Structure 1
Amino acid sequence: MSRRVLIARLDGAGDVLLAGPAVRAVAAAPGVEAVLLCGPQGAAAGRLLPGVAQVLQWPCPWILNPAPEPTPDLMQALLQLVRSARTEEAVILTSFHQSPLPLALLLRDAGIRTITAASTDYAGTLLTTRLKPGEDFLEDQPEAERALRITAAAGFALPAGDDGRLRLGPLPDVSPLVGAGPYIVVHPGAAVPARAWPALHHAAAVELLTAAGFRVVVTGGPGEKELTATVAAVAGLDLGGRTDLAALAAVLAGADAVVVGNTGPAHLAAAAGTPVVSLFAPVVPAIRWAPYRVPLELLGEQHAACSGTRARTCPVPGHPCLSGVSPEQVVEAVQRLVNGVPSLQTHREMRHR
């Protein structure tokens, strides 16, 4: 019988995609099956990751926003879910501001006795292996590398030949959606307002890209149809609300470059290996959250007053960190990527900007 290891990443799609290399490290161990525990916003991304044997979904009341009530029934649902998956040990992946201890307590109650996580707080007997941020690893590192450090402490390493980049499994054929010929994707939506470039800036960029000879495809979720229609206007192909996550990944994979904010599709593009123009609001650090290990153009004032606040709504009037980026700058960044001369390609370079 296979040894089944639970990997928990309870956040959104982008967070789950960044856990992909860590999932592959666990799945590569002889006789191991990787079971991924996700929140409702990350489960679809989990199903796209290579190496995942099973995806479990549970709405976590200390991570989701808005959060469900932590009722006994909700906690019991997690215990039953974990027990039914027959997992024997767990690796809890968290960001620097999250504690793994509430989940560790519940997993203990579900019968898991071997648990590895990073925790700034004293963990007592909740964790079998505890990594201490600042001692066992640097905080200012990409989230994908943080996750790999945690799985390494649990005894799992990437196999020879795996370079640690983000990856996706097989994707659907979307040629009927995107049509023939090369294209650029513009994805104007963002998970929270503080990370959004203005809609009319996006629309102007689409017009300028089209005038420069590019074919532009505009993507967005079911709740973003009005936004994508505004941005696509008459110049772009509007796919707003017409793709699930797998189809969106395929659209991004076929693009020559993607223009996107700091949101899940930025990491989806990176996992597809597509160059990214990242309209990145510094409310979270780019070193941790910028698209990982793909050719990259990072736009936006990274030392603005909102830097590091984790604000969901911009605390600075006028949203200057992003509104100061012009559509012309975006077009120039796309041209650099398409011509193979991005100004920023690695996180190592980002540390020295």
Structure 2
Amino acid sequence: MTALLALRALGLGDALTGVPALRGLRRRYADHLLLLAGPEPVSNWLASLGVVDGVVSTTDLSGRPPGRRLGSHVAVNLHGRGPQSHQLLQAAAPRELIAFDSAAAGHLAGCRWFVDEHEVGRWCRLVASVGASCDAADLRLPITAASDRAVVIHPGAASMARRWPVTRWAHVAAHLRSDGHHVVLTGTEAELCQALSVASGAENLSGRLGIHQLAERVASAALVLCGDTGIAHLATALGVRSVTLFGPVPPTWWGPAIDLDLHTVLYHGSRVGDPHADRPDEGLLRISVTEVLTAARAQLAGTRPPST
């Protein structure tokens, strides 16, 4: 069976926004073995859910070409605009490369990259260029759980630019606990969550959940509160109510694309900032504790105020 190798060597949120494109590829190339070149354990988790058939472990763009042992295969660049990601796939000599145009990589197939585009739509548009059919509804994942009405707060993010101050999260957690809600903290930032747990009395599960366990924890929650990071996309995929704090990147690029009544986005950015900066984005800091609490309480009550 011919392999179809899709490169997306990125984290949880990026992987989830690429799921619709992967499903479109599966429909278009039903007679191919769909492989995901990406990091473990996220890629293995997606394979366990049937999104892909197998995984080629790929953590970044500096290693050996992930398709080097596949023989004749089709390569798909769901990672970026190139040229480095294009060249990594080209090095394994695929019979076909599906990717955005990159003159530097010598690939001009007539599909241009646009900066101002939602991430889900971007990759659906790419695979549509070869006849694949998919849309935002393909984001949904087949994981369900009985709700225990917990509120999950995930205070961290990969960069400081997307981290709302921990002192503000502590106020939110304390107020929600005083409302009678069970508040659970998740994340890999153990020290940050420990400090927040001490300040608010919330249950601290930071560093204790693998991706499978985190998905189950989110699936059973009443609400997820977080910044613009992977768990927000997990809440979208699982149909769990959420409040997401955006900055420096606008929600029109990375916000929820389905079930908009379930998700509130808070954003006060006046410009696109640096998502890798070493300090919280100014727009993110304009979001107040009162705004987050108002949005959280509205979602918990089954209503939703207008996104700001």
Match of 2:97 among 104, 115, 139: 115
Task: Tell me by how many angstroms 1:107 deviates.
Answer: 2.6
Matches of 1:47 and 1:53 in 2, distance apart?
Answer: 6
1:325 equivalent in structure 2: 287
Q: 1:123 to 1:84 in 2, by over 3 A?
A: closer
TM-superposition CA deviations, 1:174-201 (whole Å, max 9, x none): x9xxxx8311111111110010011111
The answer to whether 1:339 aligns with 2:301 is yes
Q: Which of 175, 190, 196 lines up with 1:225 in the alignment?
A: 190
Residue 37 to residue 169, structure 1, CA distance change in 2 (3 Å): farther
For residue 59 of structure 1, what is the amino acid of its counterpart? T
Deviation of 1:132 after TM superposition, in Å, equals 1.3
Q: Tell me the distance in 2 between the aligned counterparts of 1:218 and 1:86.
A: 45
Structure 2 residue identity aligned to 1:339: A
Return the alpha-carbon distance in structure 1 between the equivalents of residues 158 and 174 of structure 2. 24
What are the residue-to-residue correspondences of 1:195-210 with 2, within 5 Å? Answer: 195-210=162-177
Deviates more, 1:197-206 or 1:230-239: 230-239
Per-residue Cα deviation, 1:83-113 (whole angstroms, up to 9, x for no partner):
334561122124xxx4323333333331302
Q: Percent identity at matched positions?
A: 29
For residues 192 and 44 of structure 1, what CA distance do their matches in structure 2 show? 25
How many residues are matched? Answer: 304
Decide whether the 8 Å contact of 1:260 with 1:266 is kept in 2. Answer: yes
Unaligned stretches of 5+ residues in structure 1: 62-69, 345-349
- The answer (yes or no) to whether the contact 1:4–1:87 under 8 Å persists in 2 is yes
Residue 288 in structure 1 maps to residue 273 in structure 2? no
Aligned to 1:245: 211
Q: What is the aligned partner in structure 2 of residue 65 from structure 1?
A: none
- Is residue 336–residue 342 contact of structure 1 (8 Å, CA) maintained in 2? yes
**Among 279, 286, 299, the residue aligned to 2:266:** 299
Q: What corresponds to 2:76 in structure 1? A: 91
Matching residue's letter, 2:258: R
Q: Is the 8 A contact 1:277 1:330 kept in 2?
A: yes
Alpha-carbon distance in structure 2 between the residues aligned to 1:101 and 1:319: 29
Q: Aligned to 1:259, which of 202, 225, 230?
A: 225
Q: Distance in 1 between matches of 2:289 and 2:185?
A: 15
Provide the rounded CA distance (Å) in 2 between the counterparts of 1:169 and 1:9.
21
Code of the residue aligned with 1:101 in structure 2: it is P
Matches within 5 A, 1:68-217: 70=62, 74=63, 77-78=64-65, 81-86=66-71, 88-94=73-79, 98-119=80-101, 121=103, 123-124=105-106, 126=107, 129-134=109-114, 139-158=115-134, 164-170=137-143, 181-217=148-184
For 1:339 and 1:48, locate their aligned partners in 2 and report how far apart those are by CA, in whole Å: 34
Give me the CA root mean square deviation: 2.7
Q: What SS is found at the alignment partner of 1:156?
A: coil
Match of 1:275 among 198, 221, 241: 241
- For the residues of structure 1 that align with 2:195 and 2:299, how far apart are their CA atoms? 25
Q: Deviations over 1:11-33 (max 9, x none)?
A: 22211110001111111233233
**Which 5+ residue runs of structure 2 have no aligned equivalent?**
none
Q: TM-score, normalised by structure 1?
A: 0.77
1:64 matched residue in structure 2 = none
Sort the Cα spacing of 1:48 and 1:201 in 2 relative to 1 into closer, same or farther, 3 A: farther
Is the contact between residue 269 and residue 284 of structure 2 (CA under 8 Å) also seen in structure 1?
no
Read off the aligned partner of 1:242 and give its amino acid letter. Answer: R
Q: Distance in 1 between matches of 2:8 and 2:268?
A: 30
- Within 1, Cα distance between the matches of 2:45 and 2:83? 24
**Distance of 1:36 and 1:236 partners within structure 2:** 37
Q: CA deviation at 1:288?
A: 0.9
Does structure 2 conserve the Cα–Cα contact (< 8 Å) formed by 1:20 and 1:49?
A: no
Give the TM-score of the pair, scaled to structure 2: 0.87
What is the CA–CA distance in structure 2 between the aligned matches of 1:285 and 1:82, rounded to whole Å? Answer: 34
